[in-house]
Amino acid sequence: MKLSIIIPAYNEQKTIRTILARVRSVDLLGLDREIVIVDDGSTDGTREILEELGKEPDVRVFLQPKNRGKGAAVWRGMQEATGDIMVIQDADLEYDPAELPQLIDPILRGVADVVFGSRFLGSPRGHRVLYFWHSVGNRMLTLLSNMFSDLNLTDMETCYKAMARDVVRRLDLRSQRFGIEPEITCKVARLRARVYEIPISYNGRTYAEGKKIGFKDAVQAVWVILRYAWWTPSER
């Protein structure tokens, strides 16, 4: 069985080598691994680093012709990935690859099709304390998503999501930017997939350190939740 670790990257010159090293250092419970990195039109030298890293046997690099957004990069990575399980791993070091085994464990045990890593379930490793209103926004979006999806998630907006390949191939994701998170959630719910949550640690970045999500993305998330609330999955 193989795990595909999908890493969308945009202007992550400072962290891309580190995240790759951390992903490689994790014991994945005997699974084969491939690391699929999709560069979303970086202009800071990330692409040049990836051209070098892409020569490694366990790394596959895909370069978007221009900046299209995180959602487009994630979907490109999912389409290119060949693993039986797929995990989204941001390149900015906010999420710790050491927790990948816990994230995929429910799928390996056959009790889940999709696993969300929640920043709000109280990980024993804790989280960096940052923006109050940002956390309020996350919780409000999660509440709205839960109302329409009938799930009881605590952290819909988390990047850390693991999914079985059979689920991924039916998602047909359309969101170009950060709307990818509520779109995945809406569609997973409509597919009647078995969803688990596990606690994860979180080392959030400040905007000065490169955090990219903002108020406009929150507004877009509301639109995405409403748009896909009644989405009907295709038969494949």
Average pLDDT estimate for 92-117: 96
Q: Which tokens is 82 given?
A: 């060949």
Whether the per-residue pLDDT at 136 is higher than 90: the answer is no
Measured between its terminal Cα atoms, the distance across the chain in Å is 22
Query: Which DSSP state fits 106?
Result: H
CATH H-level, domain 2-228: superfamily: Spore Coat Polysaccharide Biosynthesis Protein SpsA; Chain A (3.90.550.10)
The confidence score (pLDDT) of residue 216 equals: 80
Question: In this predicted model, what pLDDT tens digit does every residue of 193-232 receive, in sequence order?
Answer: 999 999 998 886 554 555 556 668 788 888 999 999 888 8
- Top-confidence residue, 115 or 129: 115
Confidence band for 124, pLDDT divided at 50, 70 and 90: low
For the chain, give every domain's residue range.
2-228
Three-state SS at 187: helix
* Mean of the per-residue pLDDT values of the chain: 89
